[in-house]
Structure 1
Amino acid sequence: MARRGTRLRTTGKALAALTLGAAVLWWLLPRTSGVSWSEVAHLIGGIAPHRLAGLAALWACGLLVHSFVLTGALPGLSRRRALTLSLTGSAVSNVAPMGGALGVALNCSMARTWRFRDRSFAAYLVVTNVWDVLAKLALPLVALVGLLTAGGLPTRGLRTGAIGASALLLVLVAVGVTVLRSDRMAAAVAGFVAVLVRRVLPRAGAERGNRLAEALLQTRQRIRAVVARTWPQLTLGMAGYLTSLAALMWACLHAAGAPVPVYAVLAGLAVERLLSLSPITPGGTGLAEAGTAGTLVALGASPLPVVAGVLLYRAFTFVLEIPVGGLWLGLWLLLRARTARTAGAPPGPAVRLPA
């Protein structure tokens, strides 16, 4: 009964989050672009099925490229299991604000069934998230270079964002490299965390703080070993994934009738990647679409095909991941239960998501 109540609460939160995201998108996008939903629906409905199939294939290729980042961050992870983590984690994360914690909980349960240690999975989380953040911060710089090379004049907001992201990127890289290379710096960071825990939890904080500091130092050693061995794969995989996303956005815009140059696509992708981190709605729904379309229109593109192209792009990179990832999760659970029955053993602990 308690498990059923937890599932109902989780489902209710997911539905409420999706409703909020849809409402923000429905209200915000027409007001920022001046384009009606009926015009957008008519344009997207006229795209030939074979072009949609090609876009879907391009989206699938991007997921395959991204799997190289995951296998590099967790040695021993197969390509199929990397795709399982990617799709199922995205499906869960895309249905709730701050849904990343739900996706992490699900992926952690999966990693345990594959006999990966929690310490290895913790290192995997840190490495993948660091490379993802660095990629999101590097994109505005790449977009700015593309605009300047093409002779375009970027807006003040894009210039400020690119400069700020570039400065933050350099700081993060410098801090990360220092912490990984310097035992003294790593010990200082761990000690600071321990002191912080003791102040927040004065009664039991000393013991917890010491355990956390020790765990951080152990995780740092694992991260250092992983990065030293697979950083070329991680970097090339992430660069390839961003390239596939840019190609997908360019193809979606062209399918909708918006011949946007490459440098403008990079600017739009930079804005979309940053706004997708917004905790207000799942995946930044509403904000990401409006911001991306606004950036492309500001760079000279026509509003109607741009809005249609951006919505088509988000349909592949956000919406489609929910049913595909949900189906993938269902098949994984079914195969897991069937394997357990064949082996004559119980299926093990069920995958539970936090309420």
Structure 2
Amino acid sequence: MVHHTIDGEATTARRLRFGIVLLPNFTLTAFSGFVDLLRLASDEGDMSRPVRCSWTIVGENLVPVRASCGIQITPWTTFDEAQAFDYVVIVGGLLHSGPPASDATLAFIRAMAETPATLVGLCTGAFALARAGVMNGYRICVSWFHYWDFVERFPQVDERDLVADRLFVIDRRRITCSGGRASIDVAAAILLRHVEATIVRKALRILLVDDAQKGNAPQPHPPGLEPATHPKVRRAILLMEQHVGEPLSLPDLADRLDVSVRQLERLFTTETGKSPGAFARQIRIRMASWLLTSSDRTVADIASSCGFSDASHLGREFRKEFGASPNEYRATRLPNTHEALLGTPEPGARLPDEYVEAPVRQLGTP
């Protein structure tokens, strides 16, 4: 019998059983990375036999499921005929294209939650777990890219349970991850509960992965932010972006990162040359400048959305940063956004990343 443990103790009493549910427009990277690590750790040599663990693609029916890249995978069995599993993995993908998880899929997730199985949400699979109502009281990891999508769709979820600054979260019999390469890290974390660490490390090396990341590792640095290598600073920046409308106080930010206020200030100064407050202000100003030139929202509305007390407050900060009022900034940049502020660039000149990449990040555009 497989024992589900939190402290990572391994047991190899019998083969681990994984049931994998592919949602419409699932992300192929998340699926393939997870399964390939299972495959490599399951057998010796290059045989790919399901010796240590087995995996089954389960679906509402046997109709092929289309990945976001267009590749289609046919389920091996249906929900009604599925056997017992130790882990049930829900692989999500695109949120705004195609149908969501079906009622039958949500019913299957609820049924699996009543068994000893551990539920795993890869990429936006966490959205399906939340829709199924099986994440109440559990922490939920989502990508920073989909943080506001989750907040909008599930306003009842306690914001303190939502984690968007880490690669994945293991909370008892629930595992959720941000997607992409992090699915390999999740597979490694699961396997390390049950098989020898040397086997898992060997499988990672075959995939050319130096080592599996731990769940508290920060998600990749979003484009448009100044470089920072210390994981605490990177996580702090992600949290600042996620709370741009209602900025976290410095003590709250330090508490979430499990560091002292003084230590956080010291880390920020070393990594970015700015205090946490100055860096957060830069993020809010950048968001406001983008909204001014990409929407017809009022200055007062933008000020409120970006964490400023009112339009006057935003105006004062804007003059400090750009030497112009928000309305002047909008008027001069609308005809040619970059040239109006930066001047006409030399032929072949490259615009600074903070003006090119940051707006795309903030609006959540791929």
What's the TM-score bracket when you normalise by the shorter of the two chains?
A: under 0.3
> When the two structures are superposed, what TM-score results if normalisation uses the length of structure 1?
0.26
> When the two structures are superposed, what TM-score results if normalisation uses the length of structure 2?
0.25
Query: Which of the two has greater strand per residue?
Result: 2
Q: Which has the higher contact order (CA 8 A, sep 6+)?
A: 1
Query: Which of the two has greater helix per residue?
Result: 1
